[in-house]
Amino acid sequence: MESDRLRAVIESLLFAADGPVSAERLQGALGEVPRKEIVDALEALRHEYEHAGRGLRLAEVANGYQLRTAGEHAEFVRRLTAVKPARMSRANLETLAIIAYRQPVTRAEIEEIRGVNVDGVVSTLLERRMVRIVARKDVAGKPFLYGTTREFLEAFNLKDLASLPTLEEMEEMTQALRDADSAESQPDGDAVEADGIAGTSANTAKDTEEDAGEDATDVAAGESGGDAEDGGPGDPTRE
């Protein structure tokens, strides 16, 4: 397939998809096209969107590729769709950060770090499909182990878990947030409006603005791990 034709077909496939599409899935749809040619075409599309003044961007998120609106156009997209930026409480963000860095992790381990009960917070994160139950820990009572989801990677504009900010970067972002909070208090109590991701899926125009570094204060973060593939929210019942 000629390169121009290949880029056009890939563009159509990404536009029609309901989420990030891996190179392997694209190859399955394209037939006999070698994977390298597909990756080269994706890079050519990415460059074209970024340097030709286009309104779309090709993002590599959740182990796949997705068309999103340009971040600088987020305000116009919100006006059209009337979708408000996603909001999460500080408690939700703090707990999500612990799960992201320590996964797989149990509720008891999260509570040991935060020092408070996290039943309601974990249930909320399950409902929002930011986390999921990945297994049971092989100890007395066999408590659930939690990890992040593909939706988490999409919302925070991460290619994979290896793309999580380092602890040093997280501390810098946290300090910046503290400085901002000292200059101007949040208007809605502990609700935080995150604006780290302005890009939206092209075919849904859904605003997915989140900030991976928002107020992950004093979290004892460990090594990234676990499975970030898509999965159901699981049973929110405490164990």
| pLDDT tens sequence across 187-212 | 444 444 443 333 334 443 333 333 33
On whether both 101 and 142 belong to a single domain, the answer is: yes
On whether both 24 and 49 belong to a single domain, the answer is: yes
The two three-digit tokens of residue 41, written as one number: 């075409």
Indicate whether 230 belongs to any domain.
no
Identify which of 81, 82, 6, 80 has the alpha carbon closest to the alpha carbon of residue 41: 6
On whether both 188 and 96 belong to a single domain, the answer is: yes
Other Cβ atoms closer than 10 A to 23: 18
Structural domain for 164, as ranges: 88-193
pLDDT of residue 13: 97
Taking the whole predicted model, whether its pTM rises above 0.75 is answered as: no
Indicate whether 223 belongs to any domain.
no
User: What residues in the chain have per-residue pLDDT under 70?
Assistant: 83-86, 167, 170-239
On whether both 120 and 186 belong to a single domain, the answer is: yes
On whether both 118 and 152 belong to a single domain, the answer is: yes
On whether both 121 and 186 belong to a single domain, the answer is: yes
Contacts by 234-238, CB closer than 8 A, 24 or more apart: 234/126, 234/132, 234/133, 234/144, 235/133, 235/144, 236/122, 236/123, 236/126, 236/127, 238/107, 238/119
Enumerate helices (H) and strands (E) in the chain, giving the number of each.
Answer: 9, 6
On whether both 97 and 178 belong to a single domain, the answer is: yes
Domain final residue pick, 46, 80, 114? 80
Residue with tokens 């563009």: 11
Indicate whether 213 belongs to any domain.
no
On whether both 25 and 69 belong to a single domain, the answer is: yes
